[in-house]
Amino acid sequence: NIIDFLNHGGHFGINKLLRKESVIKKYQNKKLTLKDLNYISLQAYDFLYLFKKYNTYIQIGGSDQWGNIQSGIEFCQNIYNKQLYGLTTNLLLYKNNIKFSKSLFHENKKLPIWIDTEYTSPYLFWNFFRNVEDQKVQSYIDMLTNLNINLDEELKNEVLKNEELKNEVLKNEELKNEELKNEELKNEELKNEELKNEELKNENEKNGIASRYDDIINSAKKKMADHITNTIYGKSLVNKIHKINKIIKNNKFNEIENLQELKILPYNQININLIKQNKINITDILKSFQIAMTNKQAKEKINQNCIYINTKLITDPKYILNIMDFLKTKNDNNYYALLRLGKKSSYSIIAKYDKKETLNND
């Protein structure tokens, strides 16, 4: 209880706490509070409790927790004269170095990284890793997989291969020049033509390297996405994601076999009677998937010409969904449509007969 905790207060000197890196940063930003000082000591007390009750000798946390873990180690040494240990790992960061963590749950819950399918569909989970920023790919591979992929090494080898090819071309050019060394170019036009060809060749070399770079990065992203998703959800689901991707890529939306395949994507289920009664418009759908939070945002998205129902581009914010927008699954005759946001994001709209006439997650 709080009294037991306060009895140990003498082990936490204020001056020492103020020298902690996390506290210094808070102080410099004029955001230091009593809560921040107490948090370090409470975390230390937590380590003491774990040691006393569960014989815990090591605590593992993100790199931002090192100060708290260190305080717990020192605290336990003072009380029990025992050597405890701490281990920290790099933080998993998103764009703008946002930390994925439970303490930032409300800020991050819409980001497709949660294992809980209530917040992240398996498809979005896979899709997140497939489309992660290029500069974060290697760190994600190292932290989250045991894949033997070294992007720096692969890119270096690609450059070396290109250099070898270039050297071979140069050798051939030298031989050619040797044969023509006693001959002069017939005129200035021919000379200029050769210069243009040389510039074009150099440009093609650059484009070739850039293209190979994209191939190497994209291959690594696919392997990483498959590996992590397989670890969490299993190989069967990874295969279903590949199948869905192929269907979407080839615009063969009528090849969905059953409801379970649709539910790999983020999905909403609606009452088919509402469709038949012309009561559901595209704005409702966008807001139900939180693609847009307001009618204004929905209109802006639609005006960007990136919203599709199956293959149909939606250009009218007042567009009403009708039964002709829906297909039937092959095996269980469920009505569905695929909502697409550009090329990278897809969602399932499942229409069923239901007494409840509202948009809702199944």
Q: Could you tell me which residues come within 8 angstroms of residue 297 by beta carbon, excluding any fewer than 6 positions away?
A: 286
DSSP 318-330: TPBP-GGG-EE-T
Question: For the segment 149-190, what is each residue's pLDDT rounded down to a tens digit?
Answer: 988 888 777 766 666 555 555 565 665 555 555 555 455 555
Give the whole-angstrom CA distance, residue 71 versus residue 59.
Answer: 12
For residue 12, is it within any domain?
yes
- Verify that 316 and 227 share a domain, yes or no: no
- Verify that 220 and 265 share a domain, yes or no: no
- Verify that 113 and 20 share a domain, yes or no: no
The total domain count for the chain is: 3
- Verify that 40 and 60 share a domain, yes or no: yes
For residue 175, is it within any domain?
yes
For residue 123, is it within any domain?
yes
Do 41 and 12 touch, CB atoms closer than 8 A?
yes
Provide the terminal-to-terminal Cα distance of the chain, rounded to the nearest Å.
43
- Verify that 165 and 197 share a domain, yes or no: yes
Q: Which domain holds residue 127?
A: 96-180+187-233
Question: For the segment 317-337, what is each residue's pLDDT rounded down to a tens digit?
Answer: 999 999 999 999 988 888 999
pLDDT of residue 311: 92
Q: Report residue 66 as tokens.
A: 């090192």
Question: For the segment 213-245, what is each residue's pLDDT rounded down to a tens digit?
Answer: 888 899 999 999 999 999 999 999 999 999 999
- Verify that 39 and 151 share a domain, yes or no: no
60: enclosing H helix or E strand: strand 58-62
Do 229 and 244 touch, CB atoms closer than 8 A?
no
Q: Which residue is listed with tokens 């550009």?
A: 342
CATH code, domain with 66? 3.40.50.620
For residue 122, is it within any domain?
yes
For residue 240, is it within any domain?
no
Helix (H, G, I), strand (E, B) or coil at 360: strand
- Verify that 146 and 259 share a domain, yes or no: no
Q: Which of 89-103, 125-139, 342-356 has the highest mean pLDDT?
A: 125-139
Whether the per-residue pLDDT at 57 is higher than 90: the answer is: yes
pLDDT, average across residues 78-90: 91
- Verify that 280 and 320 share a domain, yes or no: yes
- Verify that 10 and 49 share a domain, yes or no: yes
pLDDT, average across residues 64-86: 89
* Boundary residue ending a domain (89, 120, 151): 89
- Verify that 114 and 194 share a domain, yes or no: yes
* Boundary residue ending a domain (53, 74, 89): 89
For residue 359, is it within any domain?
no
- Verify that 336 and 284 share a domain, yes or no: yes
pLDDT of residue 313: 95
* Boundary residue ending a domain (35, 62, 89): 89
For residue 249, is it within any domain?
no
For residue 18, is it within any domain?
yes
